[in-house]
Amino acid sequence: MVGNQNKHLGVALGFFVVMGVLLGIAVIGAETYNNYRSKAYAPPPNPIPNCTSLTGPSSVTVGQSATYTASFSSEQGNLGGEIDAGQGGAFKWTPGNKPISGTSGSLSFTWTPTVVGTYDVFCRSWNDAVAECRGKANYVDGPPRYACAGPTSSMSVTVVAAVTPTVTQAACNNKTKGDANCDGTTDLIDYSIWLNHQCNKQAAGTACTDLRADFNGDGSVDDADLQVWKNNYLSDTH
Ligand SMILES: [Ca+2]
Ligand SMILES: [Ca+2]
């Protein structure tokens, strides 16, 4: 009887060992399948972060600074954002991302371009390495990176060469009094020079080359210089 009991015990033990092995194989198999499925067919992590409302200058002179700002959001939090510039899918300016506490916020980045050309400036948004959105589709290289939902996650920016003014007056005693033609008086001839050489009336990206009417010496001919001319014209004797 003792022999039979041992035999039955052995059979039972063997049965449980086999079942345990089969269960293990099933668990490992299911895990492998789930891993495969999550990589190959799983939908994008929800929610994908987003960045919108990108603003900043569309034309920048080489060597001058331009600040770009965008709004970033992720319902999941753990947010980080960045604004980059690139050409044809290749990154040219990557300032490094900044953290945002909470689920949304605004960030600004300042770019000082050194090479003339046309650039894509776009925002990027992360939620703790789960997913990232990039504001320009041809810079997206696959999951977990996706195109930003937007709107306005990218813009085209033209970087133009710096131009040295070709018409200047080094020595003119009354220049700061609105005397553009340097004849010693502030009159309507000087106003005419100001009127015809205002920098902000030129095409975007065109450098100012005639600075005779830059009465305040800030490198631009604009309304501030008109005010200088007015103040001196009205107080001058003609
Ligand atoms: Ca004059
Ligand atoms: Ca000026």
Amino acid letter, residue 46? N
Amino acid identity at 29: G
Looking at the fold, whether 111 and 140 belong to one and the same domain comes out as yes
Give the per-residue pLDDT at 22: 61
From first to last of its 238 residues, what are the pLDDT tens digits of the chain? 444 555 666 666 666 666 655 655 555 555 554 554 444 445 555 679 999 999 999 999 888 899 999 999 998 888 999 999 999 999 999 999 999 999 999 999 999 999 999 999 999 999 987 899 999 999 999 999 999 999 999 999 999 887 666 666 656 788 899 999 988 899 999 999 999 888 876 655 566 788 899 999 888 899 999 999 999 998 865 5
How far away, in angstroms, is 212 Cα from ligand 2 center? Answer: 10
Q: Pick from 51, 45, 48: which is nearest to 136 by CA?
A: 51
CATH code assigned at 208:
1.10.1330.10
Same domain, 213 and 179: yes
Do 62 and 146 lie in one domain? The reply is yes
Radius of gyration of the chain (CA): 34
Distance 114 CA to ligand 2 centre (A): 25
Mark whether 125 and 186 lie in a shared domain.
Answer: no
Residue 124 has what pLDDT?
98
Q: Ligand 1 centre from 163 Cα, in Å?
A: 26
CA distance 82 to 72: 9
Q: Are residues 35 and 85 in the same domain?
A: no
pTM: 0.57
Ligand nearest to the CA of 165: 2
Domain that holds residue 132: 50-160
Pairing of strands 154-160, 59-61: parallel
In this structure, is residue 38 part of a structural domain?
Answer: yes
Asked if residue 140 and residue 61 are part of one domain, the reply reads yes
